[in-house]
Amino acid sequence: MSTPRAHVLLDRVIPLGAPNRLALWLACCLAVTLLLTFGGLIIGTTSIETSLHWLSAPDEQAAVVLWQIRLPRTVGAWCVGALLGLCGATAQGVFRNPLAEPYLLGTAPGAALGVALSLIAVDSTIGELAWAGKLGLTAAACVGAAAATALTIALARGVLQTTSLLLAGIVVGSVLGAITSLILLTKPEIFRAMQTFLLGSTAFLSWSAVILVGGVLCLSFVPAILLSRGLDALTLGEDTAQSLGLSLPVLRLALLGMMAVGTATTVGQVGIVMFVGLMAPHVVRETLTLNHRQLLIAAPLCGGALLQAADLLSRWIIRPAELPVGSVTACVGGAYLVLLLWRRNRHA
Amino acid sequence: MREVRAQAVNAREVRPGDAPQPPATAPLYCRDLSVGYGTRRVLDGVTLDFAPALWHAVVGPNGCGKSTLLRALAGLTRASSGTIVLHGRELSAWPRRARARRLAWLAQTSGATDLTGADVVGLGRLAHGGWLTARAAEDDAAVRRAMTATGSLEWAQRRLSSLSGGERQRIHLARALAGEASVLLLDEPTSHLDPPHQEDVVRLLREQAHGCRVCVVSAIHDLSLALAADRLVVMGRRGLIGQGTVGDALAGDWLSTAFETAIEVVEYKGTHLWRPALAAGAGHP
């Protein structure tokens, strides 16, 4: 301390910043994303040879398939995955729990209920909906998610206790899920559309969806990056964070609001896609030592690539038919989670 | 035991009954401070003054409310009655960030985060920058000074969760120092540390107080270390025993009252040392 040990020397030698492997990592992530996007263009109901031929010399029909169906689908999957990754990393920071995920506050069941109600209202199915109807679904999902979040916060009596918030989120999620199931039982005509929705599907992503999700993603970055040091402070404990001048209610409300909007947007477009929001921050943390500002940039890039890959897999496994992307992420994500638990147990 | 209780009553009388007017320069003082959790009252009408450029050690048995006192002074636990004044202004009236720039608090135990050492210490500057600005050069300089002072600079790039308890403690101490606040509230800053590093921390606290004119208030378990402080705040299970110099505390035998057992303090080459009554025939009269 005040004794002249080696510190005087070290003062000159040691830089404060961590060695920056982040740039390299991000570059790799982007490269993988580009590869996956290319894969998204050439994998589909046609053979790969045909797709490659289309790419080199597209006729009119090929151009529609490539640029109006496959490209928005894979880009949209990236946007949704990125938004889920961002929400997941935020949730884990806000709740100080590595197993937190974007659907925690009952947002997903809430959004599902909203969609079910709006489907009954317009009496249609997801596949037939036009752009306006799609926005209607997104709006319904947003309203449902916002209502569920508000209900959760009300039940937890504010945002002061994260444990109460988690418990209230579980309660709200189960109750809203049960209500949705009841509606499905009484209204079998929306069952198929809801099934697609509940299992998660990237099949209906259009350019309008890409613009919507991309816009929300950009907007969500604003509170996330502004409050990233607050999330850092929160890792030291709530008391220490408060003593550092942080207002916990402001931080939590802002970030929970962002999570609610972000999750609702993704649920409105692709339905419920499990595990991407949980996995993405973990994949990043396993490889890098990051503060939240860096994590909140890296986790979306990782999440985007993850969902793109899952989307490709869902189209590849039983081609020319396809699986719901939510079932693919559930299997892969579940396996990853088990692996993570095993590794933790071994370290502990 | 009965003898001890009798002493306790005497010591109560030693305690200044009427609150003296605080010196105009006192950066922090409290008047009739009461704090309770639920129905349990932990602090009851405590009146204390903390002077600038002095190191105050808060001592007392487990559960006497040392941590509660520090938490209340830091504005983390709401007082049920009484006032706390920081730099001439009621503590609760301070804007959050302005208060954080003037008063730093160090928890007894801090979470093991995955952040790097430098990131954790940098959080001590959280209230200094704007929301948008990245770490400024002066923040980096303060972080570097604090880490050098606590000898933790070599862990700047290590994850905190990969460090030992003592190493983490020194990082957290650096975080508290990095804000360069004029009031430092430290809850057991020497816990988890080996004896040489405990000594380093004590030297550092003195340096902060005497060199940088910081008002340092720290709860300290080790009596011999606490007796090196400029002022003692002695707390017992039944409330505040007294506040004053080490000489006052020894003259009034406040420590024996506080711990409800005979505490023997010996003087050795100008320093006061607690002598545990372990040897046969020593200690308990």
Burial class for B80, CB neighbours closer than 10 Å (0-12, 13-18, 19+)? middle
pLDDT reported for residue A347: 62
pLDDT reported for residue A322: 85
Planar angle of CA B156, B160, B161, nearest 5 degrees: 150
Mean pLDDT of B154-168: 89
Residues 151-170, chain A, touching B (beta carbon < 8 A): none
Among the ranges given (A129-138, A228-237, B61-70, B262-271), the one the predictor scored with the smallest mean pLDDT: A129-138
Planar angle of CA A147, A149, A152, nearest 5 degrees: 110
Confidence (pTM): 0.86
pLDDT reported for residue B280: 53
ipTM of the complex: 0.85
**Rounded to an integer, what distance in angstroms lies between the CA atom of residue B170 and that of residue B117?**
10
The dihedral formed by the CA atoms of B87, B93, B95 and B96, expressed in degrees to the nearest 10: 90
**pLDDT (tens digit, 9 = 90+) per residue, A211-233?**
999 999 999 999 999 999 999 99
Tokens representing B78 are 């709401």
Residue B5 has pLDDT above 50, yes or no: no
Q: What secondary structure letter does DSSP report for A112? A: H
To probe the interface with A, which of B106, B126, B147, B193 has the most A CB atoms within 10 Å?
A: B126
**d(CA B261, nearest CA chain A) in Å:** 34
Contacts of A245 in chain B (CB under 8 A): 96-97, 99-101, 126-127
The closest alpha carbon to B16, from B47, B51, B57, belongs to: B47
Q: What secondary structure letter does DSSP report for B159? A: B
Which residue type sits at B8? A
pLDDT reported for residue B11: 39
Assign B7 a pLDDT band (cuts: 50, 70, 90): very low
**d(CA B263, nearest CA chain A) in Å:** 31
pLDDT reported for residue A1: 44
Where chain A has pLDDT below 50, the residues are 1-12, 130-132
Give φ, ψ of B270 to 5 degrees. 85, -5
Composition of chain B by helix, strand, coil, percent to 5 = 35, 25, 40
Assign B182 a pLDDT band (cuts: 50, 70, 90): very high
Mean pLDDT of B159-180: 91
pLDDT reported for residue B17: 40
**Rounded to an integer, what distance in angstroms lies between the CA atom of residue B219 and that of residue A132?**
64
**pLDDT (tens digit, 9 = 90+) per residue, B204-226?**
999 999 999 999 999 998 899 99
Residue B195 has pLDDT above 80, yes or no: yes
Average pLDDT, chain A: 85
Tokens representing A150 are 């508000």
pLDDT reported for residue A14: 57
Planar angle of CA B217, B242, B68, nearest 5 degrees: 50
pLDDT reported for residue A18: 54
pLDDT reported for residue A313: 92
B99 and chain A in contact, CB less than 8 A: yes
Tokens representing B18 are 């009427």
How many residues are listed for chain A in this entry?
348
